[in-house]
Structure 1
Amino acid sequence: MRIAVLRERRTGERRVALLPEQLPRLLAAGVEVSVESGAGNEAGATDDDYRAVGAQVSEDVLTGADVVVSVQPINLSTARQIGEGVVTVSFLPTAEEVPLVRRLRERRITSFSMDLVPRTARAQPMDALSSQSMVAGYRGAIVAAERLQRFFPLFMTAAGTVRPATVLVLGAGVAGLQAIATARRLGAVVEAYDVRESSAEEVASVGGKFVQLDLPPLAGAGGYAREMTEERATRQRELLAPHVAAADVLITTAAVPGRTAPVLVTTDMVAGMRAGSVVVDLAADQGGNVEGSIPGHEVMVEGVLVWGGSNVPSQLPRPASELYGHNVVNVLLLMLRVGALHLDFGDDILSATCVTHAGEVVHRPTLELLGEVG
């Protein structure tokens, strides 16, 4: 069995699917690994680093590959070069990649999406959404601290006392909890809100104060929040407005894979913040939690800086690649038996993450997206 590690093609993507230090586990399992030249450069891994651990490095890694791994999904051109029966492993947000899904089906390529790893105890070592969300949450707090024109921590000096910054985090999933923890380590006073009441204990565990609103919780399946009605969303914004206005920094993290991010904060709410405040919207790529945020751009709203995140984990390519690579290795090992490719679709993780196989779309929500469910 040969695994091919691709160089990423998408603009701005700096991660790599596997780092050199992750390859020995695969090589010990009896497989070969081919790495496309330059694949790890942006993440600080040279071609020689890969050769040193036993990988082959070349410009053409697709010929003879049984499994192709990447961070972003392969493009249509690459899909044309891959042979029938080859396996791909990557993030694959099917709602955004309908033409690619059709091409994968036509080419009889078996595709697995790291977006679809189930949220179960057994699948935690493969949960790439969580690992990359952790990176994004950390990065969000650092971005806010860098752009806020004041200190995060309390300073007591002979010249006087400087009060700590107040940070409000909306969304207490993996990204939100990491943003809270990082802002607290930097010395800020941190509050957080989530529609799932069960997250209050988690917020407290990383040093934040949970904001209680007079609204019923919206806990849903798989650890995600249920979609809220417009009436509920409007009332929630009304209740959050004074907390937003009091914050020096607002970090929003509410996103659900495959869905548009909910608008939690309006332009009027941002305008109600003090001049010089900072808003970091980590969900900008999914439509944005903050009205008017633009992925990859900074905009000013009444003296408040609004930073729209774009592929935020890729802004820290080395640790993001390290975490993602561990997730990928654990998925790949599920596909191996005595050094050969063996796809056991009785395995709950493999069955949940498979999108296309043997010329069919096997992921039912994607079939529904294609309008092909009777």
Structure 2
Amino acid sequence: MKIGILKETLDGERRVAITPNIAKQLIASGFELIVEEGAGEYSSFMDSDYKNVGVAVEKRAVIFHEAEVLLKINPFDEEDLKLVDKGQILISKLYHKSNPELIQAIANKGVSAFSMDAIPRISRAQDMDVLSSQNNLAGYKAVILGAFEMTKIFPLMMTSAGTIAPARVLIYGIGVAGLQAIATAKRLGAIVEATDIRSETKEQAESLGAKFISVDNEGEESEGGYAKEASADYLKRQKEAVNKSLFKADLVITTANIPGRKAPVLITEEQVMQMKNGAVIIDLAAAQGGNCEVSEINKTIVKNGVKVIGTSIDPRSVSTNASDLYAKNIYNYIIHLTEGTNFKWDLEEEITDETLIVQNGTIRKS
């Protein structure tokens, strides 16, 4: 089976779906690999690195024409689909619940498509979970970005000129990104507080040194490992409980996303106007509408002296590590889906069933 690795075309994207080290492992498993020219250069993987492990380097049109399986990180776009041939297998993130037009366009091409963002949150799929691997890096990078944008330092520092008080960091959402953000901010010496709709995250946050801001969440349990959409009553109570910490915070990081839905608004414009001058908000949910009411994707908005940065590109800015982790996820996933070098198409198996969105032109999941 010939697997094609495509160069990402999304603006700002620097990652690559398969790194030379993982390519070598796939070749050892019996697969043939071809990679688009320059696919890994922004992650410090040169064409020569791929050639050295046995991967052929080709132009983009050749990849689409020759490969049976096409790999990307971001969804296949309109230009990609013009080059796709009937019967090919596409593997990328598809966000199928919020992209019905894309899924229909893929189906119209008569291909099969697996979505990496649909990996179920179960223990045996952890080594395939790209959302976890990439969000872990996003949580780390959000703190580093916040440190750069703030006009204060994180740690308590005693100097001959006086004592500098530690910065205060507030984190909304204690998933993979939130936990890494807590750990990173604590290592840098900040006072960290955190809140989440899921009460079961309290122990996790506290184990990393954060103070958990409790809000009664009866009836707000999680769904499949994710926080579900909160009720209006819960959001009102959370706002009241968190305001004191929010208005004192030097850095706020929001990470709350619900797959296939608009991100919940956790910080209103009214709240932003009451935050202290010089505070920074890093909104990691900006691509899905934002957890902060005033945030815009890939923009910095200043309101009443508060800097609101809407972003979803943090893993891309550490693209070497992000590519390494994504590639390992993909490797584990392909090995799971195949027997020898042939796809098993086992629709009775949960991981295959949940991630196979389109099969031979028929939409299975919407």
Q: TM-score range by the shorter chain?
A: over 0.9
Aligned residue for 2:57, secondary structure, equals: strand
Equivalent residue in structure 2 for 1:252, among 247, 251, 254: 254
Conserved? CA contact 1:14–1:315, under 8 Å: yes
Deviation at 1:126, TM superposition (A): 0.4
Contact kept? 2:170, 2:249, Cα under 8 Å:
yes
Question: Which residue does 2:310 correspond to in 1?
Answer: 308
Distance 1:193 1:345 in 2: 38
2:63 aligned with 1:42:
no
1:103 aligns with 105
- Between the aligned partners of 2:352 and 2:246, the Cα distance in structure 1 is 42
What is the deviation of 1:231? Answer: 2.9
Of residues 180, 186, 189 in structure 2, which corresponds to 1:187? 189
Q: Kindly report which structure 2 residues correspond to 1:189-228, keeping only aligned pairs within 5 A, or say none.
A: 189-216=191-218, 218-228=220-230
Identity of counterpart residues, as a percentage?
40
Q: How does 1:1-374 map to 2 (within 5 A)?
A: 1-59=1-59, 60-216=62-218, 218-363=220-365, 366=366
CA apart distance, 1:234: 2.2
Deviations 1:179-238 (A, max 9, x none): 111111111010100111110111012221111234536222211122222233223212
Deviations 1:321-363 (A, max 9, x none): 1111111111111232223343322322111101000221011
The one-letter amino acid paired with 1:336 is: T
Q: State the Cα deviation string for residues 252-284 of structure 1 (Å, max 9, x = none).
A: 111111111111111121221211111111111
Q: 1:336 to 1:151 in 2, by over 3 A?
A: same
* Alpha-carbon separation, structure 2, partners of 1:127 and 1:214: 30
Structure 1 residues 214 and 120, CA, compared in 2 at 3 Å: closer, same or farther? closer
Aligned-partner Cα distance in 2 for 1:228–1:191: 20
CA contact (8 A) 1:88 1:110 kept: yes
Whichever residue aligns with residue 301 of structure 1, its letter is K
Q: Deviations over 1:17-60 (max 9, x none)?
A: 01111112211111100000011111111111110111000102
Query: Is residue 31–residue 340 contact of structure 1 (8 Å, CA) maintained in 2?
Result: no
State the distance in 2 between where 1:85 and 1:351 align.
Answer: 19
Secondary structure of 1:149's aligned partner? coil
- Select between 341-350 and 247-256 the one with higher mean Cα deviation: 341-350
Amino acid at match of 1:191: E
How many Å separate the matches in 2 of 1:61 and 1:342? 23
Paired residues in the alignment total: 364
Q: Give distance in 2, aligned partners of 1:354 and 1:341.
A: 12
**AA partner of residue 152 (structure 1):** F
Is the Cα contact below 8 Å between 1:38 and 1:47 reproduced in 2?
A: yes
- Letter in structure 2 aligned against 1:81: L
Amino acid at match of 1:23: A
In structure 2, do the counterparts of structure 1 residues 212 and 341 end up closer, same or farther at CA, with 3 Å as the change threshold? closer
- Gaps in structure 2 of 5+ consecutive residues: none
- Report the Cα distance in structure 2 between the residues aligned to 1:152 and 1:217, rounded to whole angstroms: 37
Which residue identity does 2:333 align to in structure 1? V
Residue of structure 2 in register with 1:372 after alignment: none
Measured in 1, the distance between the counterparts of 2:87 and 2:156 equals 59
Contact 1:197/1:217, CA 8 A, preserved across alignment: no
> How far apart in 2 are the matches of 1:314 and 1:211?
31
Question: Which whole-Å CA distance do the structure 2 matches of 1:360 and 1:124 have between them?
Answer: 28
Measure, in 2, the Cα distance between the counterparts of 1:310 and 1:228: 22
Instruction: Specify whether residues 14 and 96 from structure 1 end up closer, same or farther in structure 2 by C-alpha distance, changes over 3 A only.
Output: farther
Q: Is the 8 A contact 1:109 1:357 kept in 2?
A: yes
Q: Aligned letter for 2:144?
A: I
Alpha-carbon distance in structure 2 between the residues aligned to 1:62 and 1:118: 29
- DSSP 3-state at the match of 1:62: helix
**Residue 239 of structure 1: how far off its partner (Å):** 2.2
Separation (CA, whole Å) in 2 of partners of 1:77 and 1:284: 25
Is the contact between residue 7 and residue 38 of structure 1 (CA under 8 Å) also seen in structure 2?
yes
Provide the secondary structure at the position in 2 that maps to 1:21.
Answer: helix
Q: Distance in 2 between matches of 1:230 and 1:2?
A: 50
- Matched AA of 1:33: L
